[in-house]
Amino acid sequence: MIYQGFARVYDQLMKDTPYDTWFENLQKIIKSYDIKGKEVLELACGTGAMTRKLYKAGYKVLGTDLSQEMLEIALETSYDQNLKIQFIQQDMTSLDLFHKYDMIVSFCDGFNYLIEDGQLDKALDSCRAYIKDQGYLIFDISSDYKLEHVLGQNVFTETSDEACYIWENYYDEKSKILEFDLTLFEKQGNMYQRHDEVHKQRAYTIDEIQTSMAKNGFECLEVIDTNTGEKVTPESERWLFIGRKINE
């Protein structure tokens, strides 16, 4: 299972992630499309950075993730901030909920972890079941350019007083799978404990995503650069898809 040992230091190591910018761009989308509903489901919420921003902005939000360890951190952090947010463990390819939402959102690579053939279709079909008619699905992925040319065959390191990690990436052009080996050294007392995890992400094209959205009941309204909020370019590293559920 991924994000076990890394869950405890995830926020520290991801401190430069532009969550504020992503949320500002999301707010612009909500205003542009006049999305009025306040009930939001977040998929692959991780430690809840975006979940908390949605909650503080007045949304009734449920955060879901496959990693129990990440959800524990999300719940603990929200509790410390006196935020009454509900988090539950769910697989986005087989959601099992009791409610439909005005909007489903996902940020920071959740959909890239759908590496097996058919998983993207299953996830989108599962989302459709829990979005109200004319509700919105807004999610981002790391682009194929990023996985192949920015991350692929490269090694990254990050250090702090409490932890350090080594991130080795291997991209396979045939399968379009990026495998990255993460090695974490976490300070515990006067010693460091080592954790190793292997992650895999799949590179999709915009056409593949849009085709799957249409197949599973969503109209793709727009695709923008997650980081800039502008039109995508050949070197955009993140794509944000804005979809609306087609009425049955």
pLDDT computed for residue 5 by the predictor: 57
The distance from CA 34 to its chain's CA centroid, rounded to whole angstroms, is 23
Residue by residue, pLDDT tens for the chain (248 residues) are 555 556 665 656 666 789 999 999 999 999 999 999 999 999 999 999 999 999 999 999 999 999 998 999 999 999 999 999 999 999 999 999 999 999 999 999 999 999 999 999 999 999 999 999 999 999 999 999 999 999 999 998 878 777 788 889 999 999 999 998 988 888 888 888 888 889 999 999 999 999 999 999 999 999 999 999 999 999 999 999 999 999 86
Whole-number pLDDT of residue 189 = 84
The CATH number of the domain holding residue 188 is: 2.20.25.110
Residues 162, 231, single domain; the answer is no
- The number of folded domains in the chain is 2
Query: Pairing mode, if any, of strands 60-65 and 86-89?
Result: parallel
Which CATH number does the domain housing residue 98 bear?
3.40.50.150
Query: Do 81 and 192 lie in a common domain?
Result: no
Residue pointed to by tokens 């379009």:
176
Q: What is the pLDDT of residue 157?
A: 86
Answer left, alpha or beta for residue 16, where phi above 0 means left and psi between -120 and 50 means alpha: alpha
pLDDT of residue 6: 61
- HSE at residue 155, side-chain half, CA atoms within 13 A, is 4
Confidence at residue 10, expressed as pLDDT on a 0 to 100 scale: 61
Task: Give me the pLDDT at residue 3, please.
Answer: 53
Whether residue 162 sits in one domain with residue 100: no
Global pTM value = 0.92
Instruction: List the one residue out of 203, 206, 186, 205 whose CA is nearest residue 194.
Output: 186
Structural domain boundaries, residue 183: 146-201
Q: What pLDDT shows up at residue 11?
A: 58
∠ Cα 203 155 68 (to 5°): 65
